[in-house]
Every structure is written in C-alpha cells, then in structure tokens.
Amino acid sequence: METLEFQAEARQLLQLMVHSIYSNKDIFLRELISNASDALDKLRLAKLQDGLEADTSDLHIEIETDAEARTLTVRDNGIGMTRDEVVALIGTIAKSGTAELLGKLKEAKEAKENPELIGQFGVGFYSTFMVADKVILVTRKAGTEGHGTRWESAGEGTYTIDDEPDAPVGTTITLHLRPKDEDDALYDYVDEWKIKEIVKRYSDFIAFPIRRVSSGDGEPEVLNSQKALWARPRSEVTDEEYHQFYRHISHDWTDPLEIINMKAEGTFEYEALLFIPSRAPHDLFQRDARRGLQLYVKRVFIMDDSKELIPDYLRFVKGVVDAADLSLNISREILQQDRHIQMIRRRLVKKVLSTIKDLMSSSPEKYATFWREFGRAVKEGLLAEPDNHKPILEIASFATTHGSEPTTLAAYVERMKEGQEEIYFLTGESRSQVENSPHMEAFQAEGYEVLILTDPVDEIWVDAVPEFEGKKLRSIARGTVDLKKDEEEKEPEGDFAPLLGFLKEKLDERVKEVRLSHRLTTSAACLVSDADDITPALEKMYRAMGQ
C-alpha cells in the first residue's frame, strides 16, 4: 500500500469541499452519477471504435445504501481506471486556470458570498467530501488483466492506493457518511426517498438505468426514465429538466440564458439541443479549453468537444447534436470533411445567430447579458466568416459617445446626422483613453457620434468589415476625415508655411507629413495615420507579439 499526497490545488479544493462551500449538498450524487454515465459511454465507445472486447449488454449504474453502517455506494460497470489513471485523475486537477479560480473561490468564501464560481469548475468527484468523511474507490479498467485498484481517502492531505485482487470491471465508490448533525437535515442520504428524489431531480435523463439495490427486498428498482432530452418535444420537458441536463454536459452551475431545440427530417436527419450559457467560462480565451458540442449517433454518445459542429467564435455554445445517418465509427478526421456535418454546422450557426437577434427585441436584458459575456468572442466571427458579416453585425453592440449604454449599428445609423455617410469609430485601450483622444475633439464639437472600440479583436475586424447597411466603417484616427468637405486638404498654409516647414524638418524621418487640420479644437497637434496604415494600437499589439 502506498500513501500519496494530493497535488496542492487538489488539496485546496478539498479543503473548500470539506468546509462545505455549497449549501446544496445533494449534488454530490449527481456528480457521481455523471461520472458513472461518462464511464459507461466510454466503454461502449471503446468497444465500437477500438474493438475492445467487453460485455456491454447490461450497462448500468447501481446505488446501494446501508443505514446501519451509514454508507452509500455508487457502482458502474463502465470503462474503469488503471492505477496510474486513478493517481492522475483523482489525485490532481488538470484543468487550466485552476489556481486562479481557487483564489477567487476563497475570496468569495471569505466574503461569505454564495460562490457560484465553483460551478464553472465542475468540482466533480471531490464533492463527495461534503457529505463523507471517508471515500473508497475500487476500480478495474476494462480490457486489463490482473488486479484492480483501491483508493481511499479522508479528504485531508493524503490518500492511499493499493491493489485490489477481485475488483470487477468498472468503478465502485463507497462513501462513509459524516455523523448526523442535529441541525442538518441534509444528511439523510441513506434514505430511500431521498435517493429517489435526488436522482429524479438531477439525473432523470441519464441514458443508462440507475438502479437502487437494497439488501434482500427483491428486484432492483430503476429510478430514472432514461429519456434523451433532445428527443422529447419541448412542451413535455420542464425547464428544471433542461437545466439539470445542461449542468451534466457543461459543468456550469448557473442556469443557461437560452435553450434551442432543432430537428431536421428528410435526407439527413438530426436533432440538436443547444444552450447559450448566461456567463462566460473563465477559460473562454484560453487555447486549451474544452469547447464544442457533444456528438451522438442514434442516441449513442460518440464524442465530446466536437469542434467540427460549431465554429470557434461560438465556442461557448453547449449542447448535443444527435445525427441519425452517421457511422458509429466516425472519427474526427472524417468528421472534418463530412458534407452533412458541414451542413449541420451552417444551420446551427444560423439558428444561434437568429436566436440572439430575436432576444434583442423579445428580451433586451438577456441580450445585454449575452453580449457582455460573449460579444468579444462573437466578434472573432467577423474575421472567420465573411459570409456571416451581416448577421453578426446585426447582433453586435458597441460602446459609443452617445450615452453610456452600448449601441447597435442599426441604432447608430438611425441617429446619423444629415449628410453623414460613414460610421465613425475610434479604437483604443479604454473608454477614457478613446474619449480623451485628440482625434475625438472635432467630432465631439460637431456633435458626431463615434463608436468606442476597446477590445483587442476590434483592431482587427474593423479592417475585415467594409460596411454595414451601405455605410462604410471609418476610423477617425486614419487619413483625412472630411467633416468639412475636403477643406482639410485645401487649407491654405498661408502664414503657417514656415512653421510647418520647420516642424517637418525637425521631425524628419518620424512623420510623413505635417499639415493643418480642422480635426482639433483644443489640442495643438495630433498624430494621424494614413488611411491604409495600421492603427497605433494595432501597431503596438504587433510589436508586443514580437513582429
């Protein structure tokens, strides 16, 4: 037997669990069932795709309780884990951004706020320590010979790991429940009704039977309906059921902002159930983050994170696509080239964008939340999908000199002044920096509205998007902006000629030209780029990237 230490981050997370940061402890069972369900999916898939020899005729999850011993056991006959996997998967937290998130969690806990944050995180297996003071995991990986593995921990600094000769294939997790606390009615997890209630509430849609076994009293009872949620008509599914399913697939604790059902019949059949989250995950802009949708073929789980089904700029969309006519053996490589998948992807994009557009009128508040959380990602689509410029611009909003609320381009165009033909914008690092830019002076003085673009991606897409509703997008930092119709160019230098000459000579190589301008009202001078030069901020960005 070996005693090992939890990795530092894992230890911190365990601490938070033991000192219970969730008020709702019931969720530990949901987490165990979710893991068991994943393990069953994996076993079925390994058999289908890798030819693993395994009996998949009775894939199931069992829940057994012992009131006297105060234990609760969750058992699955899924893929199981090797000893190394147990150490790697249970002893450490591999997810990126963990340390940072833990810091925030601790702050939230200290501030006694309800730390919803943890939901972003999928605390998973460790949530068992909210209700148990000892957890034993016995597992054997499918397809391996010899012994299995036994893992045991009290959720403090260490765990033990040992061989377990007779472990069946799959994983069994036994919780020794904490002593019953007089004040705490939640510790009823050995009661039949409690187990039934939790399974019904959180795990009804799980595709495998969840059986309750109790010593002696006959046939095990199946506690869940096992109905695939995406296959059921929307009118028959409660919001609560959708929300639980969303949690199962997304590990997000907050309810989704919007739910989208799709169904296509005919030559290529598929069903989709998509969720737009109500807040951005902490790793939205991290390269190695999990993203994409789950792919099923005729109710059989095929893969997670299927990037082929949704473009990168909509990577925050969660959900399931169940296609009827794909092969169960389909690989990622084939998926990328599959014509039908590309068609599904186009339809999903269209549907997501139109759903957001509908929100703008049906629920402006939800729309505002959406854009605040995901706008930065969505704007990447202006670079990635020229064909979708129009629908993306239609759902975009931008900070503006017209008031403190963001504006849509359509609203901007409505407000354009007589004779104004272009949409003016200025990019920069922050609102105040942009507002105080000398470039802004003449526009402010003349009462022109200017969009304030401060996201890094703004620097790039503005060059890729020529116009909106026939109005050109125009940076007020570039070239000559003819607020006063061509006068700028023709302004006679007159008495200023010697000064301009002097400045040009002094600044020499550093500027192309020194000219008189209308664009300033209080500043004496400002720097402008040529119309086709890159903006100063973009120049800075490139320089920062070492180019």
Residues of this chain that bind Mg ion (CB under 5 A): 34-35, 124
Nearest to 480 by CA among 432, 513, 457: 513
User: CB–CB of 90/136 below 8 Å?
Assistant: no
- Whether residue 515 is annotated as binding a ligand: the answer is no
Chain mean position to CA 173: 29
Q: How many residues bind ligand ADP (CB under 6 A)?
A: 16
Nearer to ligand ADP, 12 or 408 (CB): 12
Which of the stretches 34-42, 262-270, 328-336, 370-378 binds ligand ADP when contact is defined by CB under 6 A?
34-42
**Contact between 206 and ligand ADP (CB under 6 A)?**
no
**Gap between the Cα atoms of 110 and 104, Å rounded:** 10
CB of 420 to Mg ion, least distance (A): 55
β-bridge mates for residue 57, sequence order: none
**Gap between the Cα atoms of 234 and 261, Å rounded:** 7
**Gap between the Cα atoms of 319 and 292, Å rounded:** 8
- Whether residue 47 is annotated as binding a ligand: the answer is no
User: CB–CB of 45/56 below 8 Å?
Assistant: no
User: In 147-216, where do the E strands start and end?
Assistant: 148-153, 158-164, 170-177, 210-213
Rounded to the nearest 5 percent, the helix, strand and coil shares of the chain are 40, 20, 40
Sequence-ordered alpha helix ranges (H) in 7-97:
8-18, 27-50, 83-90
Nearer to Mg ion, 95 or 211 (CB): 95
Q: Within 10 A of 66 (CB to CB), how many other CB atoms are there?
A: 14
Site string for ligand ADP, 118-147 (x = CB under 6 A): ----x-xx----------------------
CB of 121 to ligand ADP, least distance (A): 9
* The entry of Mg ion, ligand ADP, none that residue 538 binds, CB within 5 to 8 Å by partner kind: none
Q: Within 10 A of 2 (CB to CB), how many other CB atoms are there?
A: 9
* The entry of ligand ADP, Mg ion, none that residue 171 binds, CB within 5 to 8 Å by partner kind: ligand ADP
Nearer to Mg ion, 35 or 171 (CB): 35
- Whether residue 121 is annotated as binding a ligand: the answer is yes
CB of 36 to Mg ion, least distance (A): 9
Name the residue whose CB lies closest to Mg ion: 124
**Contact between 79 and ligand ADP (CB under 6 A)?**
yes
Sheet of 61-66, strand order: 2-5, 158-164, 148-153, 132-140, 170-177, 71-76, 61-66, 210-213, 221-222
**Contact between 171 and ligand ADP (CB under 6 A)?**
yes
Nearest to 413 by CA among 428, 425, 431: 425
Joined tokens for residue 303: 């893969």
User: CB–CB of 56/148 below 8 Å?
Assistant: no
CB of 125 to Mg ion, least distance (A): 6
**Contact between 164 and ligand ADP (CB under 6 A)?**
no
CB of 331 to ligand ADP, least distance (A): 21
**Contact between 475 and ligand ADP (CB under 6 A)?**
no
Nearest to 62 by CA among 173, 226, 227: 173
CB of 240 to ligand ADP, least distance (A): 22
- Whether residue 51 is annotated as binding a ligand: the answer is no
Residues 217-256 that bind ligand ADP (CB under 6 A): 251
Q: Which of 26, 29, 64, 78 binds ligand ADP (CB under 6 A)?
A: 78
CB of 2 to ligand ADP, least distance (A): 19
Joined tokens for residue 500: 């301009």
Nearer to ligand ADP, 80 or 292 (CB): 80
Nearer to Mg ion, 244 or 400 (CB): 244
**Gap between the Cα atoms of 438 and 481, Å rounded:** 13
162 Cβ partners below 8 Å, 6+ apart?
1, 2, 149, 150, 152
CB of 480 to ligand ADP, least distance (A): 56
- Whether residue 96 is annotated as binding a ligand: the answer is yes
**Contact between 204 and ligand ADP (CB under 6 A)?**
no
- Whether residue 360 is annotated as binding a ligand: the answer is no
Nearer to ligand ADP, 94 or 410 (CB): 94
- Whether residue 120 is annotated as binding a ligand: the answer is yes
Burial class (CB in 10 A: 0-12, 13-18, 19+), 281: buried
Nearer to ligand ADP, 173 or 440 (CB): 173
- Whether residue 66 is annotated as binding a ligand: the answer is no
Residues making up the annotated binding site for ATP are: 31, 35, 76, 81, 95-97, 120-125, 171, 332
Residues making up the annotated binding site are: 31, 35, 76, 81, 95-97, 120-125, 171, 332
Interface residue list for ligand ADP (CB under 6 A):
31, 35-36, 39, 76, 78-81, 89-90, 122, 124-125, 171, 251
